């Protein structure tokens, strides 16, 4: 591999530096460097901005807070740049510094059977480089906040407009106006839908309504360009323009099955896709990945534990203890989606369909029922599924292993479009409960919510509206009021996704420097404070 990279090592005074420089264009899946310490560190600075003892288990430090470790003699080591993630193995006194890994920037394509094909190879070009530097000190050191208002949690809403109607659109806006919450609101430019009473930019009165959203401080974002695929779809993608008399739209939320979306593109087609979108003003896109299904307990995308089977089932205990509206079927579906395999998830869905058919068609549907039952059984006894559910219950789902939130989209060459990853929020009663928000505050967590504010069917317990007339779920509204009060008190940062990406881009430039034997923090875009 030496012909592909140049490695430069330098150690002086209180610093140790390794620089990786690509000698030629190359395709790789992982790139990391192992550092072995004479003695394992005793503590690390966790994402809640607290010192936490290092025990026996492996742990991960991401790029969304300072990477700082400490030894028993009070010597501290900090990453000079905000690059990559650390994985620490205390048993081996080993620190593995990942700078390239598929789970640092999750990306996938749907195949013809609607299964996800995760991307595992990434292009790098001659001259690309990474600088990995440790700075050491016994003195106090500054840590930086990941919000512009301090060491507080972040809640950002990215709403999908699939079920919006003119009436529900207005009622949503009034709720948020009354609670002081801002959102990134997905819109459809074109009235190409399989649903009646649809709200798209072409419908009468919708443009004026969306202008009121913008005037209230919400960000408008494309949710693809129409609800349904049609003969005009490719033309929509090729020639769309940001609407006149509105702020330029810079966020694109993938609407999966439409043929022009990134999730339908092969990796070698994505560079051209990003170039096209960037020329249209797009700065950030959804990567079509949810870290987990949000509950009262699973609500912090910076927590690897929240994205695990153990946390999913702990949520059930919390909901029962706190008297929250528990939807066992929803948790079961979340477990199928996150805690098993796509094959088992699909098999169970097909089995359910066969069961419903059998109830009406009887003998005629029996062969399909038998076939789907055997498929489900086959995938249920998969050793990987069994191991994940019994031996690795606390292990995070792979797409949240490094807690990716906002990152440069992979498969680009001449553009710098960013991706954001979300958490699915369907039950506002639990996700915005007092227990949930207190946990998020305590952990200084991050929640980028993937929502359907206008969804009214009963299979989403805790939804905002109980029916198509717009009857409010008062418990859900109380949750938004609770959150709005925290935002008003500056106890929670509530950015639009464009604002959040803009701030996180600045976090990428945060550095620590050694000046006159002291470790100094520079380029922090928000508040900082000293720790010892």
* Each residue's pLDDT tens digit, 101-135: 999 999 999 988 888 899 999 888 899 999 999 99
On the question of pLDDT at 1 being above 60, the answer is no
pLDDT beyond 90 at 352:
no
Indicate the helix (H) or strand (E) that contains 76: strand 76-79
Measure the CA angle with vertex 186, ends 184 and 187; round to 5°: 135
- 25-47 pLDDT tens trace: 999 999 999 999 999 999 999 99
- Range with lowest mean pLDDT among 188-192, 442-446, 507-511: 188-192
Tokens found for residue 64 = 């969304």
The whole-number pLDDT of residue 392 equals 79
What are the tokens at 169?
């659109």
Rounded-to-integer distance, Cα 343 and Cα 113, Å: 11
Q: What is the DSSP letter of 351?
A: H
pLDDT band, residue 372 (cuts 50/70/90) = confident
Has residue 340 got a pLDDT over 60? yes
Interacting residues of 392 by C-beta distance below 8 A, sequence separation 6+: 309
Output the pTM of the full model: 0.94
User: How many Å apart are CA 43 and CA 71, to the nearest integer?
Assistant: 7
Q: How many CB atoms lie within 10 A of CB 83?
A: 16
Is 431:299 a contact under the CB 8 Å cutoff?
Answer: yes
Q: What's the mean pLDDT in 161-167?
A: 95
Query: What are 452-505's pLDDT values in tens digits?
Result: 999 999 989 899 999 999 999 999 999 999 999 999 999 999 999 999 999 999
Calculate ∠ Cα 500-504-508, nearest 5°: 170
- Residue with more model confidence, 390 or 40: 40
Quick one: average pLDDT of 374-397? 80
Spatial CA neighbour of 222 closest among 182, 187, 255, 259:
187
**Tokens coding 240:** 């769309």
Share of the chain above pLDDT 90, in %: 76
Query: What number is the average pLDDT over the span 274-292?
Result: 97
474-488 helix and 166-179 helix, angle to the nearest 10 degrees: 40
Q: Kindly indicate the confidence band of residue 2, based on its pLDDT and cuts at 50, 70 and 90.
A: low
Is 67 in contact with 61 (CB distance < 8 Å)?
yes
Q: Return the higher-pLDDT residue of 400 and 256.
A: 400
Alpha carbon distances (Å) from 398 to 62, 102, 307: 14, 9, 9
Predicted confidence (pLDDT) at residue 85 exceeds the cutoff of 80: yes
Of the candidates 444, 477, 152, 430, the one whose C-alpha atom is nearest the C-alpha of residue 312 is 430
Residue 330, pLDDT score:
74
3-class DSSP state for residue 415? Answer: coil
How far is residue 523 from each of residues 80, 85, 145, 153, 501, measured CA to CA in Å? 12, 20, 12, 21, 16
Provide the terminal-to-terminal Cα distance of the chain, rounded to the nearest Å: 41
- The lowest-confidence range among 15-24, 61-70, 113-122, 432-441 is 113-122
Is a pLDDT exceeding 80 seen at residue 55?
yes
Residue 213 near residue 200, CB atoms below 8 Å: no
Confidence grade of residue 393 (pLDDT, cut at 50, 70, 90): confident
Please report the pLDDT score of residue 196 as a whole number.
Answer: 67
* pLDDT number for residue 256: 74
**For residue 305, what are the β-bridge partners?**
none
Mean pLDDT, residues 278-306: 96
**What is the structure's pLDDT at 47?**
96
Does the pLDDT of residue 525 top 90, yes or no? yes
Q: What token pair was written down for 103?
A: 């789970």
User: Is residue 179 left, alpha or beta, with left meaning phi > 0 and alpha meaning psi from -120 to 50?
Assistant: alpha
**Looking at residues 434-446, what average pLDDT do you find?**
98
pLDDT at 272 over 90: yes
Q: SS3 breakdown of the chain: % helix, strand, coil, rounded to 5?
A: 30, 25, 40
What mean pLDDT is predicted for residues 373-391? 78
């Amino acid at each position: 591999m030496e012909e592909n990279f140049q490695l430069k090592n330098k150690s002086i005074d209180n610093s140790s530096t390794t620089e990786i420089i690509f000698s030629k264009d190359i395709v790789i899946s992982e790139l990391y460097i192992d550092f072995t310490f004479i003695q394992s560190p005793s503590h690390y600075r966790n994402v809640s901005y607290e010192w936490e003892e290092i025990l026996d288990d492996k742990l991960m430090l991401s790029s969304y807070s300072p990477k700082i470790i400490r030894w028993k003699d009070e010597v501290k080591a900090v990453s000079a740049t905000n690059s990559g993630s650390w994985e620490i193995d205390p048993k081996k006194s080993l620190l593995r510094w990942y700078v390239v890994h598929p789970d640092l920037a999750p990306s996938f394509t749907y195949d013809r059977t609607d299964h996800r094909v995760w991307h595992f190879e990434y292009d790098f070009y001659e001259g690309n480089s990474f600088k990995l530097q440790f700075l050491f000190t016994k003195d106090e050191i500054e840590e930086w906040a990941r919000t512009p208002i301090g060491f507080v949690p972040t809640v950002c809403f990215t709403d999908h407009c699939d079920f919006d109607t003119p009436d529900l659109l207005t009622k949503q806006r009034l709720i948020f106006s009354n609670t002081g919450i801002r959102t990134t609101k997905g819109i459809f430019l074109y009235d190409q839908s399989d649903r009646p009473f649809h709200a798209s930019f072409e419908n009468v009165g919708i443009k004026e309504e969306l202008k009121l959203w913008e005037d209230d401080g919400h960000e408008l974002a494309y949710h693809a360009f129409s609800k349904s695929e049609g003969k005009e779809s490719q033309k929509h993608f090729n020639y769309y323009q940001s609407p006149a008399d509105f702020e330029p739209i810079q966020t694109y939320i993938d609407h999966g099955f439409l043929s022009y979306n990134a999730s339908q593109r092969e990796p070698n087609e994505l560079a051209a896709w990003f170039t096209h979108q960037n020329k249209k003003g797009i700065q950030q896109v959804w990567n079509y990945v949810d870290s987990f299904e949000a509950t009262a307990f699973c609500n912090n995308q910076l927590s690897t534990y929240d994205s695990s089977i153990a946390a999913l089932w702990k949520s059930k205990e919390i909901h029962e203890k706190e008297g929250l509206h528990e939807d066992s079927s929803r948790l079961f579906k979340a477990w199928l989606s996150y805690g098993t395999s796509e094959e088992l998830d699909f098999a169970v869905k097909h089995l359910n369909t066969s069961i419903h058919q059998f109830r009406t068609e009887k003998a005629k549907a029996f062969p399909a029922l038998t076939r789907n039952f055997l498929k489900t059984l086959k995938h249920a006894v998969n050793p990987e599924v069994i191991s994940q559910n019994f031996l690795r219950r606390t292990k995070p789902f792979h797409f949240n292993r490094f807690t990716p939130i906002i990152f440069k989209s992979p498969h680009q060459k001449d553009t710098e479009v960013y991706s954001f990853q979300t958490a699915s929020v369907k039950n506002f009663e639990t996700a915005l409960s007092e227990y949930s928000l207190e946990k998020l505050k305590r952990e200084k967590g991050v929640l980028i919510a993937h929502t359907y504010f206008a969804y009214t069917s009963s299979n989403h317990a805790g939804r905002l509206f109980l029916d198509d007339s717009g009857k409010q779920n008062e418990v859900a509204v109380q949750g938004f009021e609770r959150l709005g009060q925290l935002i008003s008190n500056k106890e929670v940062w509530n950015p639009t996704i464009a604002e959040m990406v803009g701030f996180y881009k600045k976090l990428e430039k945060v550095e620590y420097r050694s000046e006159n034997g002291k470790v100094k923090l520079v380029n922090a875009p928000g508040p900082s404070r000293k720790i010892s």
